Amino acid sequence: QECSPAFFVLENVKMPDKYANAISRALGVNYICINSSLVSAQQRTRYYWTNIPNVATIQDKGIVIRDILSDVGPYRYWTQNQIYKMHKKQYRGALANRVENIDGKCRCLLANDGNLFRPKIWDSVGLRWLTPLEWERLQTIPDNYTHMLSRTQRYKQIGNAFTVDVIVHILQHMENTDAKR
């Protein structure tokens, strides 16, 4: 209300209706629920509030993890001994619960994902984490956009990011709108 923008977009995680409806009342617009899985290989359900009119449904591109994999080159794979030790520790099953099916969608990326819960895949060589480049692709960020950061910071920044193609979809609806509103 203070800055009276011509347009705005607010994004937040999926939440109970009472909170989402309170935000809707404060902003004067209803939220739109969009899952990034429509434009990427990642399950990432988010609520979006915008005063941009006529934001339509996104068409499903049918992208799966296999589509975003890169040639990882000399990447560190888990040894059989490491896999065995992981299963023996207190987190039994945590490893298995975070190995993604490359013909499906990846779970939502998180900014504070520790190594234990960072998504992993079995590829033709063995078990490995998804690389920062692959995380960028899951968020539809251009390849190597975060290359100047350390690996840890790349994972954090990408996990905190918007799914770019969802935002592009929303903003495209401004093209036929009078910006002076």
Judged by DSSP in three states, 65 sits in helix
**To the nearest 10°, the Cα dihedral for 154, 106, 104, 89?**
110
Tens-place pLDDT, residues 85-107 = 666 554 555 555 567 889 999 99
* Listed residue (54, 35, 49, 28) closest to 172, CA to CA: 54
The C-alpha atoms of residue 13 and residue 22 are separated, in whole angstroms, by 14
The C-alpha atoms of residue 86 and residue 96 are separated, in whole angstroms, by 10
Task: Report the pLDDT value the prediction gives residue 154, as an integer from 0 to 100.
Answer: 92
Task: Report the pLDDT value the prediction gives residue 99, as an integer from 0 to 100.
Answer: 79
Task: Report the pLDDT value the prediction gives residue 178, as an integer from 0 to 100.
Answer: 66
Residues 6+ apart with CB under 8 A from 117: 94, 98, 110
User: CB atoms < 10 A from the CB of 109, how many?
Assistant: 22
With beta carbons less than 8 A apart as the criterion, state whether 89 and 108 touch. Answer: no
Q: What is the mean pLDDT of residues 112-132?
A: 77
With beta carbons less than 8 A apart as the criterion, state whether 77 and 128 touch. Answer: yes
**Percentage of the residues of the chain whose pLDDT score is greater than 90:** 59
The pTM of this model reads 0.85
With beta carbons less than 8 A apart as the criterion, state whether 106 and 130 touch. Answer: yes
Task: Report the pLDDT value the prediction gives residue 75, as an integer from 0 to 100.
Answer: 66
Q: For residue 1, give the amino acid letter.
A: Q
Task: Report the pLDDT value the prediction gives residue 46, as an integer from 0 to 100.
Answer: 96
